[in-house]
Amino acid sequence: MNLVWHRADLRLHDNPALAAALRSGPALGLVVLDPNILSNTSARRRAWFCRNVAALREAYARCGGTLLVRSGLPWEVLPRVVAELGLRRVFAVRNSTPYARFRDRKVEEALPGRVAWFHGQYVQEPGEILKPDGGPYTVFTPYFRRWWAALEGEPLEVPARFPPAALPPEYDPGSLPEESSDVPLPPAGEEAALGALEAFLSDRLPLYHQTRDRLDGSGGSRLSYYFTLGVLSPRLAVRRALRVGGEGARKWVSELAWRDFSGELLHNFPHMARSAFDPRWDGLPWQDDPELFGAWLEGRTGIPVVDAAMRELRATGFLSNRARMVVAQFAVKLALLPWQKCERAFRDLLLDGDNASNLQGWQWAGGLGVDAAPYFRVFNLAAQAQTHDPGGDWLRRWVPESEGRLEPYGRPVLDLEAARRRYLEAAARIARGGPRG
C-alpha cells in the first residue's frame, strides 16, 4: 500500500501523484497539519484550509478511500505513518517555495529513496521554462511566449472507485480542528471549484479581456482561492478555457501564466522573499511609521480608493487585481512603508494568499525590479477609481463617508503630491546609481 501526501493539491481530479499511486495499487491519502505553516497564518486562512481538507476527505470517502490527518512536522509524521502501516512509498506533488523545498529535503532524508515527486501545482513547473541560454526568465513577455509554446497534455483521469486500502480496525484516521473564520468563506472543495469554473467559463470568460480590471472584481473568475490550495487544477482550467476560445480566454490563460511566472521567479530568486528583486530598491527611504501602517491596513488613510480596497479585503478576504495594485503601489511608492511588513499583513488577509504570487504582485506593483515595470509610473489614485469603478458603486459601498468623491476626504494621512515628488526624487537617485537617502 502507498501514501499520497497532499499539500497544495487538495483535489482528486488531475492529480498526478494520486493517479500514479493508484496505478500501482491501493493508496491512502494524508494531510499533515504543519505548525510551521498553520501557526504562522491567520484564522481565516487556517479555516479555509481546514474546510478544503474536510471536503477532500469526503471526496476520498465517496471513492471508497481514506484520507488521514496528522499534526506535526512532516519529516517526523511521515516516517511514523509509513512505519505504523508498513507503507511502501510516498507520492506527492512538488511545491517550490523556500520552506517547501527545505521541508521536502528533510522528508527525503527521513525516507531515503521512497518519495516520488510529481508536477501539478502549476501549468508549467518552476525550473522548466528556461531561456535559450538555459538561464531563468526575469521578464514576463518572453517567458509567456515559451510557456505558451510548451502547453501540452490533457488533464489526468482518476478512477471513480479506488482499490480497497485496508486499515487496521483500531487505526485512528485523525481529526481536523474546528477553525472559525472572521469572514464568510466560499463553498469549499473541488466540486464547488469545478462548478465555479464552469459558471465563469460560460458567463464571464468571453468578456474577460474587457472587464477584468474592474475594481469590484466582478470581471474576474474569483478562482484564486481554489488555485492557491490546489483545489482546482490550473492545467485543467487552461484546457477548458482554451476550448471555449476567443480573446477573453487568451487573456485569462495569460493570467494563469502570471501565476506560473510568480512560482518561477521565487524558485529561481529566493532572495525576493526578503529583499527587493533588484536590491538597489532596498535603498528607498522607508518610513517605518506604525500609525501610517495602521491607517493603511485598516482602510482609514483618507484616500477613498485605498480605504475602499483595504476595507473590502478585511471584510471579505478577497480583492480584485486592480485594487491590489492600487493599495500595494500606494504603500510602497507613496507611503514608503516597509514593503515586507505590508506584503505579510496583506497575505494574511487574503484567502488566496500565496507566497509566490503575493511577493511577485507586491514587487511588481511597487516597481522593485520584477518584470519590466518602470519605477517612475505612479498611479493617479482618483483616476484609477474613475476609470475602473465608473459608476462609483464600489467606492460608495466601502467608503460611504467619502460620499462618492474621488479626492481625499476627512484628514488624509499623506499629501499625495508631496509624497509622489519625494518618491520620484529618491527613486531617480537610485536609478542613476547616485548616493542613497
Annotated catalytic residues are 255, 258, 286, 321, 339, 362
Write 163-171 long-range contacts (CB < 8 A, 24+).
163/22, 163/25, 163/26, 163/27, 164/26, 164/64, 165/1, 165/26, 165/27, 165/28, 165/65, 165/66, 166/1, 166/26, 167/28, 167/66, 167/85, 168/85, 171/84, 171/85
Nearer to ligand FAD, 29 or 260 (CB): 260
What is the C-alpha radius of gyration for the chain, rounded to an integer number of angstroms? 23
Contacting residue, 14, 125, 216, 354, with ligand FAD by CB under 6 A: 354
141 closest CA partner among 298, 264, 257? 257
- Residue 14 C-beta: closest distance to ligand FAD, Å: 15
- Residue 371 C-beta: closest distance to ligand FAD, Å: 10
Nearer to ligand FAD, 250 or 405 (CB): 250
77 binds ligand FAD (CB under 6 A): no
- Residue 205 C-beta: closest distance to ligand FAD, Å: 9
Neighbours of 391 (CB within 10 A): 9
56 binds ligand FAD (CB under 6 A): no
6 binds ligand FAD (CB under 6 A): no
User: Which cell is 130 given?
Assistant: 528556461
Query: How many CA atoms within 13 Å lie on the side-chain side of 128?
Result: 16
358 binds ligand FAD (CB under 6 A): yes
Residue type, 260: D
Residue 170 CB partners (closer than 8 Å, separation 6+): none
- Residue 139 C-beta: closest distance to ligand FAD, Å: 14
Q: Please, what sign has the CA dihedral across residues 330, 334, 339, 344?
A: negative
- Residue 122 C-beta: closest distance to ligand FAD, Å: 10
- Residue 342 C-beta: closest distance to ligand FAD, Å: 9
Q: Please, what sign has the CA dihedral across residues 369, 266, 240, 45?
A: negative
Residue 187 CB partners (closer than 8 Å, separation 6+): 196
DSSP H helices, 133-223, are 140-149, 190-203, 208-211
- Residue 250 C-beta: closest distance to ligand FAD, Å: 13
Which range, of 92-100, 254-262, 308-316, 394-402, touches ligand FAD by CB under 6 A?
254-262
357 binds ligand FAD (CB under 6 A): yes
256 binds ligand FAD (CB under 6 A): yes
Nearer to ligand FAD, 357 or 384 (CB): 357
Number of residues that bind ligand FAD (CB under 6 A): 31
User: Which cell is 207 given?
Assistant: 468578456
227 binds ligand FAD (CB under 6 A): yes
Owner of C-alpha cell 466540486: 191
Contacting residue, 2, 138, 224, 301, with ligand FAD by CB under 6 A: 224
Nearer to ligand FAD, 27 or 257 (CB): 257
Contacting residue, 222, 250, 396, 420, with ligand FAD by CB under 6 A: 222
Q: Between β-strands 2-6 and 67-71, what pairing exists: parallel, antiparallel or unpaired?
A: unpaired
Query: How many CA atoms within 13 Å lie on the side-chain side of 65?
Result: 28
124 binds ligand FAD (CB under 6 A): no
Are the C-beta atoms of 246 and 104 separated by less than 8 Å?
no
Are the C-beta atoms of 337 and 389 separated by less than 8 Å?
no
Taking CA atoms, 334 is separated from 111, 233, 262, 414, in Å, by 50, 37, 24, 8
- Residue 214 C-beta: closest distance to ligand FAD, Å: 10
Instruction: Give the contact letters, 178-217, x = binds to ligand FAD (CB under 6 A), - = no.
Output: ----------------------------------x----x
Contacting residue, 45, 347, 388, 422, with ligand FAD by CB under 6 A: 347
353 binds ligand FAD (CB under 6 A): yes
321 binds ligand FAD (CB under 6 A): yes
Contacting residue, 28, 67, 295, 328, with ligand FAD by CB under 6 A: 328
Nearer to ligand FAD, 75 or 423 (CB): 423
Residue ranges binding ligand FAD (CB under 6 A): 212, 217, 220-224, 227-228, 252, 255-256, 258-259, 262, 320-321, 324-325, 328, 347, 350, 352-354, 357-358, 360-362, 365
